[in-house]
Amino acid sequence: MIPAEAGRPSLADTAGAGARPAAKPHLAVVGATGAVGRVLLGILSERADVWGEIRLIASARSAGRKLTVRGEEVEVVALSEDAFDGIDVAMFDLPDEVAAQWVPVAVSKGAVVVDNSGAFRGDPEVPLVVPEVNGCAARMRPRGIIANPNCTTLSMIVALGALHAEYGLSELVVSSYQAASGVGQAGAETLRAQLSAVSGTGLGAAPGDVRRAIGDTLGPFPAPLALNVVPWAGSLQADGWSSEELKIRDECRKILGLPELPVTATCVRVPVLTTHSMAVHARFENEVTVAGAHEILAAAPGVVLFDDPAAGEYPTPSDVVGTDPTWVGRVRRSLDDPRALELFVCGDNLRKGAALNAAQIGELVVGELRG
Amino acid sequence: MIPAEAGRPSLADTAGAGARPAAKPHLAVVGATGAVGRVLLGILSERADVWGEIRLIASARSAGRKLTVRGEEVEVVALSEDAFDGIDVAMFDLPDEVAAQWVPVAVSKGAVVVDNSGAFRGDPEVPLVVPEVNGCAARMRPRGIIANPNCTTLSMIVALGALHAEYGLSELVVSSYQAASGVGQAGAETLRAQLSAVSGTGLGAAPGDVRRAIGDTLGPFPAPLALNVVPWAGSLQADGWSSEELKIRDECRKILGLPELPVTATCVRVPVLTTHSMAVHARFENEVTVAGAHEILAAAPGVVLFDDPAAGEYPTPSDVVGTDPTWVGRVRRSLDDPRALELFVCGDNLRKGAALNAAQIGELVVGELRG
């Protein structure tokens, strides 16, 4: 079901079940020059080509730049109402407050929006979609918006969804190991600059040594990231929680359809460029076995089971970066609770954690027209 | 109570409650040239000088080297039975199998041994001691051995012990962020070498890039550590657990006197030189409050409460390294469980995590003579 969007031509109108062949819908990538946008252009170039025009939209500052998608150079146009003329689907990766302003503009111009900001994820009229877990939810979008989950949630939710379907999730305790690029290109660039500043200095033996070495290159981080870990991601919320920690709780509940699920998270930034990792303690309604969990994970779409410590096999960010699946290893049953599993999960925060999931949602929308 | 050690002069004999002033006992540092040994020499030089001779013992390879302790150069002697002549207390930091062989030798020569290996920690006749938590246990040592806990346990146990005393611990779920020096000097040197190899290369976008850049500099780690996190520490045990994860469970139970405590851990190495961090989910028998936890932690000996996210205050390894206390921040009450707290804890794995705790245990033994 595609809700009608008052009085304008919509995807449903232009490409419905009628007799004429469906034209390929037109896509806008909004925030095309950012860290997620660039990865998205690569992903759109790799996957089955379901799109007509791919229009690249960014801030006025970036307008006129040329980026390559599907092997062709495309000039970036400035974000404006007119930029959405003729667009069927728009994938947004902009800061929350900018998305809050411009997503409704794109919708008003007739586009279905796949939004990667946090602006709409909590809206009960906006589905929060992970195709492998709750793809059907994408069809119910009364506001014309489908939200893409946060990269941290996305780094683990495909694996958790598969286990939940079999065992029934009853509690989550997660600790994150989040990459610098989770805050965008400035994060990765800052980490590279900090690494250059500390490399070869013999640092690390006294308090504040690293802080002194990196000088004023904190970038978007609240503390040095090179040779350090920082237990903070996002903004301060009530009772000492970070926004990133609350997102994990809210988004897991919404995606899994478990509004009362106990979820507690501690989010920590680590000196990794790209790929988030999560240590997950997952308790279920039913008893679990490692063999059973292995079987579920090995069969789950979008999951790679990589779990043979005797052979040195467990996922690490440097081996996972640049790949699409969620990688799962270190599967153990809690020694004191036959209903709980421990997992270590890695996912590329720019691919499945953002751009790939958005591309998959876009393909679901296109598929509605074809189906 | 100091158990008699058959027929030989013992600490109890030479420095008991008799009339003559107690001579300062003689100390041996065994493994003096290692990462922990070197930090221990610094700590012995900083703290109240309770020792007579401080003898430095290491492998024959290191014999003849001179190291500084208490401002004086001391020549390292080779590990041998004679090396323990006249020694009252011996602090060992050697690999498990070497400690298993030589600790009994030192005991047979009349020394009380404070052992930092894993060889004796599980022995019910060997107390596992953290002075702030269970210092009294040091007095019951029928084998003449006191075990120093693993650095990972030590990085959090002082804070947990304080909270347990008030609230009654009922479950622990922990995820570690362990520093390279946790595996000794080779760990820190390997991380430095890897950082130099990847610095300035623009790496991190494709799977295996980091692995290719660092070439054969894996050192003691099973995977690249620079720009990576590695969910493995220690050796493979039954059912997919690492030895480090099981140590946390066994040692927390023993130190806290809670042999049935449910404990589950995932141990992860991070590209930090020194200072372990832990994300801790601790459930208690009683309801908790953040204000109450703050009060307990602020008053706890050996703990620094550093928890004001609005002011950017939470512990990170680069600020904690080189300091003695356990630093605690990010104190939150679980949103779904009024009996559970989330914490982020940092401790210098070479100081409180190893050398400092050993020095403190040594001082407890000396104190028995004085008291």
Task: Please tell me the least confidently modeled range out of A106-110, A285-289, B206-210.
Answer: B206-210
**pLDDT tens, residue by residue, A296-313:** 999 999 999 999 999 999
Within this chain, do residues B329 and B269 fall inside the same structural domain, yes or no?
yes
What integer pLDDT is reported at residue A370 of this predicted model? 67
- How far are the Cα atoms of A110, A178, B136, B142 from residue A153, in angstroms, in the given order? 29, 11, 46, 52
Q: What is the side-by-side strand order in the sheet with B326-333?
A: B263-266, B169-177, B276-284, B340-347, B326-333, B303-305
Residue A136 is a catalytic residue: no
Task: Report CA-CA distances (Å) from A149 to A41, A116, A222, B332.
Answer: 19, 7, 24, 24
The enclosing domain of B169 has a CATH number of: 3.30.360.10
Residue A250 in contact with residue A122, Cβ under 8 Å?
yes
State the average pLDDT for chain B.
92
More confident residue, A7 or B26: B26
Place of tokens 């965008």: A184
Backbone angles phi, psi at A255, to 5 degrees: -65, -40
Give the 3-state secondary structure of residue B65. coil
Counting one residue from A and one from B, how many pairs have CB atoms under 8 Å apart? 231
Q: β-strand B326-333 against B303-305: which pairing, if any?
A: parallel
CB B130 within 8 A of CB B356: no
Among B173, B229, B342, beta carbon nearest to A317: B229
Residues B63 and B127 in one domain: yes
Pick from B86, B133, B59, B176: nearest CA to B360:
B133
Q: Is residue B3 part of a domain?
A: no
* A171 and A141 assigned to the same domain: no
**Annotated catalytic residue, options B26, B267, B276, B346:** B276
Interface contact flag, B329 A270, Cβ < 8 Å: no
Residue at A366 is within a domain:
yes
Residue B190 tokens read as 């390997």
- The verdict on A193 touching B (C-beta cutoff 8 Å) is no
Does residue A219 sit at the B interface (CB-CB below 8 Å)? no
Assigned domain for A2 exists: no
Backbone φ and ψ of A357, nearest 5°: -60, -40
Q: Which of A225, A217, A220 is nearest to A235 (CA)?
A: A220
Which residues in chain B have Cβ-Cβ distances shorter than 8 Å to A230?
Answer: 314, 316
Say yes or no: B307 contacts chain A, CB-CB below 8 A.
Answer: yes
User: Quick one: pLDDT at residue A318?
Assistant: 93
Predicted confidence (pLDDT) at residue A134 exceeds the cutoff of 80: yes
Task: Please say whether the beta carbons of A278 and A155 come within 8 A.
Answer: yes
For residue B370, the model assigns a pLDDT of 67
Quick check: helix, strand or coil at residue A68?
Answer: strand
Residue A23 phi/psi, 5-degree rounding, is -70, 150
One domain for residues A22 and A113 = yes
Grade residue B13 by pLDDT with cuts at 50, 70 and 90: very low
Answer yes or no: is pLDDT of B17 > 60. Answer: no
For B273, nearest residue in chain A (alpha carbons): A204
Domain coverage including residue A70: 11-148+354-370
Q: What percent of chain A has pLDDT over 70?
A: 92
Do residue A362 and residue A286 come from a single domain? no
Contacts with B143 (C-beta within 8 Å, 6 or more apart), sequence order: B107, B120, B123, B125, B126
Whether residue B2 lies inside any domain: the answer is no
B136: annotated active-site residue: no
Question: B300 and B202 in one domain?
Answer: yes
Residues A272 and A308 in one domain: yes
What's the pLDDT tens digit per position in A335-361? Answer: 999 999 999 999 999 999 999 999 999
Residue B204 pLDDT grade (very low, low, confident, very high; cuts 50, 70, 90): low
Query: Residues B291-304: what's their mean pLDDT?
Result: 98
Backbone angles phi, psi at A191, to 5 degrees: -65, -40
Q: Considering only CB atoms, which chain A residues are within 8 Å of B323? A: 207
Q: Using CB atoms, pick whichever of B231, B239, B270 lies closest to residue A314.
A: B231
Residues of B in contact with A210 (CB under 8 A): 318
Q: Rounded to a whole number, what is the largest CA-CA distance in chain B?
A: 74
Please give the annotated binding residues of B, written as ranges. 33-36, 61-62, 121, 178, 181-182, 269, 349
Residue A173 pLDDT level (bands cut at 50, 70, 90): very high
Judge if B139 and B161 occupy the same domain: no
- CA–CA distance, A261 with A267 (Å, rounded to integer): 18
Residues of B marked as binding for NADP(+)?
A: 33-36, 61-62, 181-182, 349
Is residue B22 domain-resident?
Answer: yes
What is the model's pLDDT at position B4?
40
Closest CA to B344 of A210, A267, A151: A267
Rounded to an integer, the average pLDDT of B12-40 is 76
The answer as to whether A5 is a domain residue is: no
> Which of the 8 DSSP states describes residue A148?
P
B253 and B359 assigned to the same domain:
no
d(CA A346, CA B17): 61
From chain A, the residues in CB contact with B222 under 8 A are 312
Instruction: Kindly tell me if the per-residue pLDDT of A91 is higher than 60.
Output: yes
Give the model's pLDDT for residue B57: 98
- B115 within 8 A of B92, measured Cβ to Cβ: yes
- CA–CA distance, B167 with B163 (Å, rounded to integer): 6
Contact at 8 Å (CB) between B330 and B343? yes
pLDDT of residue B7: 39
Cα–Cα nearest to B222, from B266, B180, B265, B264:
B180
pLDDT given for residue A203 in this prediction: 63
CA atoms within 13 A on the CB side of B213: 26
- A54 and A26, same domain (yes or no): yes
The answer to whether the CB atoms of A262 and B290 lie below 8 A apart is: no
Judged against a pLDDT cut of 80, whether residue B80 lies above it is answered with: yes
Residue A371 pLDDT level (bands cut at 50, 70, 90): low
Assign B175 a pLDDT band (cuts: 50, 70, 90): very high
Residue A243 Cα, gap to closest chain B Cα (Å): 12
Same domain for A283 and A232, yes or no, is yes
Q: Which whole-number Å values give the CA distances from B369 to A116, A174, B45, in the listed order?
A: 67, 47, 21
Residue A14's pLDDT band, with cuts at 50, 70 and 90, is: very low
Distances (CA, A) of B11 to B23, B25, B365: 10, 8, 9
The answer as to whether A137 is a domain residue is: yes
Q: Which of A164, A252, A267, A276 is catalytic?
A: A276
* CB-based burial, A5-20: b 16+ in 10 Å, e otherwise: beeeebbbebbeeeee
- Cβ atoms of A197 and A191 within 8 Å: the answer is no
Residues B35 and B145 in one domain: yes
Strand A145-147, strand A66-69: pairing: unpaired
Q: Is A185 on the interface with B (CB under 8 A)?
A: no
Q: Identify the CA nearest to A151 among candidates A127, A120, A183, A119.
A: A183
Contact with chain B for residue A228, Cβ under 8 A: yes
- Apex CA B193: angle with CA B189 and CA B198, to 5°? 145
Name the token pair of A256.
Answer: 């899994």
Ramachandran angles phi, psi of B110, nearest 5°:
105, 0
Residues in A closer than 8 angstroms to B206, CB to CB, are 321-322
* CA B87 – CA B91 distance, rounded (Å): 11
Pairwise CA distance, residues A86 & A28, whole Å: 10
- CATH assignment of the domain containing B64: 3.40.50.720
Is A228:B318 a contact under the CB 8 Å cutoff? yes
| Mean pLDDT of the B313-341 span | 97
Please say if the pLDDT value at position B18 is more than 50: no
Number of independent structural domains in chain A:
2
Q: Would you say residue A3 lies in a domain?
A: no
The mean-pLDDT minimum among A63-77, A264-278, B193-207 falls in B193-207
**Cα B288 from chain centroid (whole Å):** 28
SS (HEC) of B328-343: EEEEEECCCCCCEEEE
Name the residue type at position A60. A
